[in-house]
Structure 1
Amino acid sequence: MSSDAPVGARPPAGKTFFGHPRALSTLFLTEMWERFSFYGMRAILVLYLTAAVADGGLDLGESSANAVYGTYNAMVYLMALPGGWVADRLIGARRSVLWGGVVIAAGHYVMAIPTGWSVFVGMALIVLGTGLLKPNISTMVGDLYERDSPRRDAGFSIFYMGINLGAFIAPLITGFLGEKINWHLGFGAAAVGMTFGVLQYVLGRRNLGEAGARPADPLLGADRRRALTRVGVASVVVLAVLLVLLVAGWFTVDTVVNLLTVVTVLVTVGYFARILTDREISGTERSRMKAYVWLFLFAASFWLIYDQAGSVLNIFAADQTDRSVGGFTFPASWLQSVNPILIIIGAPLAAALWLKLGHRVSTPTKFAVGLVLNGLSFVLMAAAAQAAVGGDLVSPLWLVAVYAIQVAGELSLSPVGLSATTKLAPVKYASQMLGLWFLATAVGDAIGGQVARLAGTWSQPVYFLTFGLASVVLGLAAVMFTRQIRHLMAGIH
């Protein structure tokens, strides 16, 4: 391993996993079950929120439901930032992943309780648990490779298959249980999935060696006590704000959603400012962070569109597609499995492609391709929406085609972005940088949740076409900045 490898690297030698370190299999399966629980719940969340009370739902309007969905996703990824800090400074990545999985499982079990309040309490727990698990398990994957190894992108692409295997299976199970039997039964199935994930992680820990065993930059003595005091004060402030909103009668879904959107953007700006002005990072690390700002903006723009699959496109699937096959109407949430199965097929091909191309295609170029393809998917979606004007039900193959284009874009950006983050990260901010990468999704989802409100006021063809063309234009603009970004990356490809 290179001298700048993160603390906790060097898993034990021995059997390999698809030609990669054996430890990758433990992390692969843990992430698979965590994504089963997450995507299983997410596939039915908006449908549950918009379902009539008589059908067991909460009867929220589509505009508010889309905003809740986007903000929930944003909070899941926003909490990755403090989750990375906890691992870096307090307990290490390995224990962060374990405790994160336990809290996530608890959240899903709470959602299985058949009451309205249980869903929001459960989502809060899932947000906290995912913040601990998500960035730190990816950091541990990065620990398995040298920082600038071409095999690193291939390893992350295989890891990405685990994500999508869980995401493929989950909607088929939770969707059927939720839409056909009982919504809370669907949420309960997600809880069982996360329980399997925790058990698998504990049983497979012997494969991990020293990966993630210790904090990268531990706080000790007075510094540790000071940090924990600040965390306590911040928690009290948050609770006080929520109490004020409640007493003043402002504690509504829309108020909380809007507040959390603003917080997400402000946290992002503040955190980038903190890293870029930190005198303890070198000039080279600062230059790489400047390059990362551009990649971050591209990624946030990508997720703004992409993650509407579970909200705007999910509602389109429920209301405007013909889902009857042989007299059986399959659940709308089943279409959420199309995206991950295409990624399962495409990820090995992408891994092989990046390995073959090596450093000939730069990271910024891959990001630009992702943005263009993402935009083209919404352009196609505009055509599907136009075909549905007048109340006609359209073939679900429209959505299959849209997801296929998005998958090609995702494989150009997401696993590559994970790898780029671990390569560009200042050593001091190793796990926190993975949190910052997931913060790109948080910003995209938070703003995307607000943007999705327009789907209820604009005509659908105009809505999809506007944001689709915007993404294409941004992708083409990204190509123009590729050389400058590569220069800032200071030798990292």
Structure 2
Amino acid sequence: MSENSTDQFFKSTVLGHPSGLFVLFFTEMWERFSFYGMRALLVLFFTTSIMGGGWEWPREHAMALFGSYVGLVYLSTMLGGYFADKIIGYRWAVVVGALLMTLGHFSMALETPFFIYLGLGLMVFGNGFFKPNMTSIISEMYKDRPEKKDGAYTIFYMGVNAGAFFGILLCGYLGEKVGWSIGFGLAGIFMFFGLIQFWLAQNIFGDIGLKPKKDDVNSVETLDKDIRVPFTTVQLVLIAIMVLMGIAWLIFEPVALISEGKINIFNFSVLGLSGNNFTILFAILLFIGLTIYRLSKYSLITRQKLIAVTFFAIICAFFWAIFEQSPGTLTIFARDYTNRVLEGNASLIFLIVDALMTFIPLIIISWVLYLLSKQTFSKYGKANIILSFSFVILWLIAIWKLVKDFYSAGYLSLSDGTLELLKIEKVTESLTEIQASWFSVLNSLFIITLAPLFSKWWESKYNPSANMKYGIGMFLLAIGMAFVAFGASGIEPGAQTASVSIIWLILVYLFHTMAELCISPVGLSYVSKLVPARMIAFMFGVWYLAVAIGMKGAGKFGENIDKIADEKGISYFFWMLTIVSALAAIVSIVMTPIIKKLMHGVR
């Protein structure tokens, strides 16, 4: 075994993979816990009445800020990736990102305007440093074991979804039923646990992720004989202008809206366009022009492969613009238009299902923690103690939630200071109210359940082409939106409340999760297959730019929900999203022969 071989990491394994993978698993789990836990509360907090502890914003304002926040989160990954690659290394980038996010969550727990905005800003930069560099460490760890890499990313993806699941479930529950600051603060506590655990166990990664050395030779550069198209000074200046205009628009567009024009740096017009629209349109046109020019300079095969990647990125932007209605308009629909109060047997069934959903994953992940501790406690005892302590808190919160729900529904009674479980026949008026954020949990639950099935599909002889996967994904997205549009068809225009069945939201999340499995993991895979090795980092940046555009698009769609709901009914809004999804699906499928030719045999 050579000195630099990554086989050394396989000396200590858990479930056949290096113990270091599970250090990353739990770090990422707590980061996703904090990110999705906070995100589930954000729009609800802004739009809840002052009497309910919120800010009582119009939905338009909340969705504008939400869209800019998630858009900036994905744009910031380019900055974080650059600093990690060139200056501080992956490990310090993860630590800096986790620290910034911890401070961001604690800031939001204070609930004042200054600290809410400060918290959002800290989390934008924190995500930028954290998000791209965790997967980079995994890639380095499996450099000499490529056959194990798919399994590693599958395990890591389970950590992502486990964190999202528990974050939405518990932060959402505490935020809505106890207090917003408690929900925001809990997200920060577990992000802090993830940070400390990673810091104390980081030596398990050997030399991976340390500060880059200036004399490192990139073998990819020397082996790649394709035409070089270096960026000129003029092009770099144009890129800087585009980036500054895009960031200014993302930040100050919602600021102008929320301040009702009192703070507006776009208070001008050009060629009949408002300053706001001109700024972003000009930045987009610059980007398109520069992209077309640079594509024309590459060799024919490289140019065609890059055009294929660009096509998939455009479809991806539409996907995220509609899929990300989950923490926004769909959560608002759950709160204001869905009958979330269950009675009698329905109440009991929900409480049992919710308990099983909570404790079965918790038991499985606790077992993984036990296996990791057995392998690493002798060397990394402090990290294991911190991680175990975080799980003790997680268990206590989950048990407290279970007891509180059964007590509130009437299945538990308090007598002489002790809880007594009542027989079902003695409970005459059982009531359970599902919190609005709970429905977002279904996405992670369905991913964990369905991901293995889709993985088997992709590995079978029935594996669809890239365009067909995107087409299937967008049609599934359309079907999901059609369910909620149909469910909302009886709501009159201008109605502020309704009592639609919860089944429609459950179906939305089922179909949207299947759509995500067709599109989200597949996209990054095609970037790595189609793009020349020396350009992968740059094209991942372009891909995340497309995701950022989609995220902001989700906010722009959501900004119009009240206007459309008042004029034509909220069902019309969801039918519009259904049509957009279906059209994108048709375009993807129709373009199959053309894109297949541009991909030159890549599957």
**What TM bracket, shorter-length normalisation?**
0.7 to 0.9
Distance between the aligned counterparts of 1:359 and 1:450, measured in 2?
A: 37
CA displacement at 1:483 relative to structure 2: 3.3
CA distance in 2, matches of 1:461, 1:378: 10
- The residue number in structure 2 matching 1:181 is 178
**Which sits farther off after the overlay, 264-273 or 192-201?**
264-273
C-alpha distance in structure 2 between counterparts of 1:262 and 1:74, whole Å:
17
Displacement of 1:364 after TM fit?
3.1
Q: Distance in 2 between matches of 1:321 and 1:183?
A: 21
Provide the residue aligned with 2:541 in structure 1. 435
Q: Name the residue aligned to 1:330.
A: 434
Q: Which amino acid aligns with 2:283?
A: L
Moved more, 126-135 or 421-430: 421-430
Residue 57, structure 1, aligned to residue 160, structure 2 = no
Instruction: Say which of 21, 32, 37 aligns to 2:34.
Output: 37
**Any conservation in 2 of the 1:264–1:446 contact (CA below 8 Å)?**
no
Distance change >3 Å, CA 151–CA 263, structure 1 → 2: farther
Match of 1:452 among 544, 558, 567: 558
**Partner residue, 1:357:** 460
Pick the aligned partner of 1:251 from 263, 266, 273.
263
Q: Which residue of 2 aligns with 1:136?
A: 133
Shift of 1:211: 4.0
The DSSP-based 3-state class of the residue aligned with 1:13 is: helix
Using the aligned pairs only, state the percent identity: 32
- How far 1:210 sits from its partner (Å)? 4.4
Task: Confirm whether residue 374 of structure 1 aligns to residue 484 of structure 2.
Answer: no
In structure 2, distance between residues paired with 1:101 and 1:186: 18
Is 1:475 the counterpart of 2:579? The answer is: no
Structure of higher CA gyration radius: 2
Instruction: Check the 8 A contact 2:472/2:515 in 1, yes or no.
Output: yes
Give the whole-Å Cα distance in 2 for the aligned partners of 1:476 and 1:64. Answer: 33
**Structure 1 counterpart of 2:329, from 292, 309, 312:** 312
Aligned partner of 1:76 among 73, 81, 98: 73
Deviation track 1:268-303 (CA, whole Å, cap 9, x = no partner) reads: 963994697289977654443221101101111100
Q: 5+ residue gaps in structure 1?
A: 1-6, 221-226
* CA 284–32 in structure 1, closer or farther in 2 if over 3 Å, else same: farther
Aligned to 1:195: 192
Whichever residue aligns with residue 61 of structure 1, its letter is P
Which protein has greater RCO, CA pairs closer than 8 Å, 6+ apart? 1
* Range with greater deviation from structure 2 (258-267 or 205-214): 258-267
2:598 is aligned, of 463, 468, 488, to 488
| SS at structure 1 position matched to 2:9 | coil
1:66 Cα deviation after fit: 1.5
- The Cα offsets for residues 26-45 of structure 1, whole Å up to 9 and x where unpaired, read as 33222211111111001111
Residues in 2 aligned to 1:486 and 1:314: alpha-carbon distance in whole angstroms: 38
C-alpha change, 1:443 and 1:116, in structure 2 (3 Å) is same
TM-aligned CA distance change 1:332 to 1:160, over 3 Å: same
Offset, 1:386: 1.2
Q: How does 1:85-104 map to 2 (within 5 A)?
A: 85-104=82-101
Aligned mates of 1:147, 1:492 — CA distance in 2:
23
Q: Which amino acid aligns with 1:476?
A: I
Q: Output aligned runs, 1:256-267, within 5 Å.
A: 266=283
C-alpha distance in 1, partners of 2:505/2:60?
Answer: 21
User: 1:417 deviation in Å?
Assistant: 1.8
Residue 360 to residue 182, structure 1, CA distance change in 2 (3 Å): closer
Contact 2:10 2:17 in 1 (8 A): no
Structure 2, gaps ≥5 residues long: 218-235, 268-274, 342-346, 348-429
Q: 2:513 aligns with which of 407, 430, 435?
A: 407
The count of residues paired between Structure 1 and Structure 2 equals 475
The residue type paired with residue 555 of structure 2 is: G
Counterpart of 1:312, as a letter, is T
Taking structure 1 as reference, are residues 17 and 294 closer, same or farther at Cα in structure 2, changes over 3 Å only? Answer: farther
Structure 2 counterpart of 1:437, which letter? W
1:48 maps onto 2:45 in alignment: yes
Q: Which amino acid aligns with 1:419?
A: S
Please give the per-residue CA displacement for 1:29-84, whole angstroms capped at 9, x wherever unaligned: 22211111111001111111011223221111011112211221111111112222
Once the two structures are TM-superposed, the CA of residue 95 in structure 1 deviates from its matched residue by 2.4
Would you say the 8 A contact 1:303–1:445 is kept in 2? Answer: yes
CA deviation string 1:112-157 (max 9, x = no partner):
1132321111001100110111122233344455799786555434
Contact 1:89 / 1:218 at 8 angstroms: preserved in 2? Answer: no
Matched residue, 2:110: 113
Q: CA deviation at 1:359?
A: 9.5
Judged with a 3 Å threshold, the aligned counterparts in structure 2 of structure 1 residues 403 and 340 are, in CA distance, closer, same or farther, namely same
How much is the aligned-residue C-alpha RMSD, in angstroms? 4.1
Name the CA distance, whole Å, in 2 between partners of 1:328 and 1:375. Answer: 31
Q: For the structure 1 residues 281 and 81, does the alpha-carbon distance in structure 2 shift closer, same or farther, using more than 3 Å as the test? A: farther
Change (3 A) 1:359 1:87: farther
